[in-house]
Every structure is written in structure tokens, then in C-alpha cells.
Amino acid sequence: MLTIRLQRIGKKNNPTYRLVIAEKARDTQGRNLEILGSFNPHAKEGGLLPNTERIKYWLERGAQTSNTVHNLFLKTGLISGEKKKKSVYISTDRAAKLAEKAKSAAPKEAPAAPAATEEVKA
């Protein structure tokens, strides 16, 4: 399966990325079919410089995008749809801690007002 993804280039502590299309199983630093653009995460504006014609060509041919590339394309308006989640594994212990933290951070409910009691005449 062909995938459009990022290939890291650039100096140490100053990464820039290439948009490349390659087999999904191949190493990102390995051989790719075509360079489809570049991405500089440090640029305030114009960080993503895609070759839109070639990207659309490959997407029409059935190529998939990585989650990060998909989200970048959504941000620039190249494709439409919903944002993909990060593919991060969370262990059960970590999930339990996150749930406990969310539970404790939830806003506490205000105490209920005392119910009005009717006086019973004897």
C-alpha cells in the first residue's frame, strides 16, 4: 500500500520534512517513489509547501496518508473530512491514571439547597 508521509531531513534540533510517497512497509529514510513537497514546522506561515497536483493524482490512485499528513492537509484545505487521532498506545495503567485525574479535575457540584419543609400544624 502506498502512503504519503513525512521524511525527516534537516539539522540536529532543527527538523524539516519532505512529503514523500512510498510503500507503507518501507523505512521512511529508504527509497521513495516521489517527493511531493516539504514541511517546515518552525515557519509561522507557509510551512507546508505541497505539490497539490501530484498529491491529488496519488490520492485518486488510492494512496493513503499518515495521520500527521492527513491533519496537515485538512488544515491547508487540500482535503476535507475529520481530523485523525494520533496513533499512540496507552497502557491500561496509564489509562486508569488519566481517568482518575479527569475525575478529580471535574467541576464539583454545588451542594443542594435545603428543601423547604412545610410546618405541620398540630
Q: Considering the entire predicted model, what is its pTM?
A: 0.67
Q: Cell 487521532 maps to which residue?
A: 85
d(CA 25, CA 5) in angstroms, rounded, equals 12
pLDDT digits 0-9 by tens, 55-85 = 999 999 999 999 999 999 998 888 888 888 7
Domains for the chain: give ranges and CATH numbers: 2-76 (3.30.1320.10)
Confidence of residue 103 (pLDDT cuts 50, 70, 90): confident
Is the Cα torsion angle 51, 9, 24, 44 positive or negative in sign?
Answer: negative
